[in-house]
Amino acid sequence: MLVVSLGGSPSLRSRSGVLLERSQRWLQQQGVEVVSYQVRDFPAEDLLHARFDSPKVLDLLQQIENADGLLIATPVYKASFSGALKTLLDLLPERALNHKIVLPMATGGSIAHMLVVDYALKPVLSALKAQEMLQGIFAEDSQIAYGEGSAAAQLAPALEQRLHEALDQFIGAMARRPKPLEPGLLNERLLSARWSI
């Protein structure tokens, strides 16, 4: 299995980034290959000028095309997901998430922002034709403590449990998803089938 991980925070230090890192590590321990991207890795000029032919954007598209699933995480800004992430998602073609399982995640300062996943992020991912969108995770900033020095960041036990449960569902959904047929194979099967009326 191959998963693309996409972080929506423009900051180097980010609680949504911590969620992604934990998710990547957990998936890799289960034998899943994870390819990681952050919005800050994309040239700002490419995003602002909507350069659909940007090498970095084309690389992301190729990885998504080959992937079974997408992990996406964002901080909440102004009651929505990050503008930098929206700008990047706007560069993806309409069916970029076709046949993909998506696990959306968001972090915010208070529980009042928990609906951002459902009412802001999921509609955009649906417009990209995700095959299946899992419930998603919202974490309050107070549930994620940055590690000091070389110490790892800490998640509140309840958040850690929800994250592991969501990742279990994510792997299960990817394992059971129907694989798309190549157009030539579908035509061959239709032509060689026995038809009766």
Q: From CA 48, how far away is CA 46, in angstroms rounded?
A: 6
The answer, yes or no, to whether residue 61 has pLDDT greater than 70, is yes
* DSSP state for residue 193 in the 8-state scheme: S
Give percent above pLDDT 90 in the chain. 76
pLDDT digits (tens, 9 = 90+) for 75-110: 998 888 999 999 999 999 999 999 999 999 999 988
153-166 as b/e, with b when 16 or more CB fall inside 10 Å? bebeeebeebbeeb
Q: Is residue 114 over pLDDT 90?
A: no
164 or 187, which is more confident = 164
| 12-16, 18-22, 115-119, 186-190: least confident range | 186-190
**Average of pLDDT values for 108-126?**
89
Please report the pLDDT score of residue 123 as a whole number: 94
Token pair for 39: 């919005």
Per-residue pLDDT at 193: 74
Element (H, E) at 86: helix 83-89
For residues 122 and 104, is the Cβ–Cβ distance under 8 A? yes
What pLDDT, in 10s, does the model give residues 130-176?
989 999 999 999 999 988 877 888 999 999 999 999 999 999 999 98
Residue-level pLDDT at 152: 85
Output the pLDDT for position 138.
Answer: 95
* pLDDT class of 197 with cuts at 50, 70, 90: low
The pTM score is: 0.87
| pLDDT of the residue at 187 | 74
* Predicted local distance difference test score (pLDDT) of residue 113: 84
Tell me the helices (H) and strands (E) count for the chain, helix number first: 8, 9
- Residue 32 vs residue 193, higher pLDDT: 32
What the chain holds in terms of domains, given with CATH numbers, is: 2-192 (3.40.50.360)
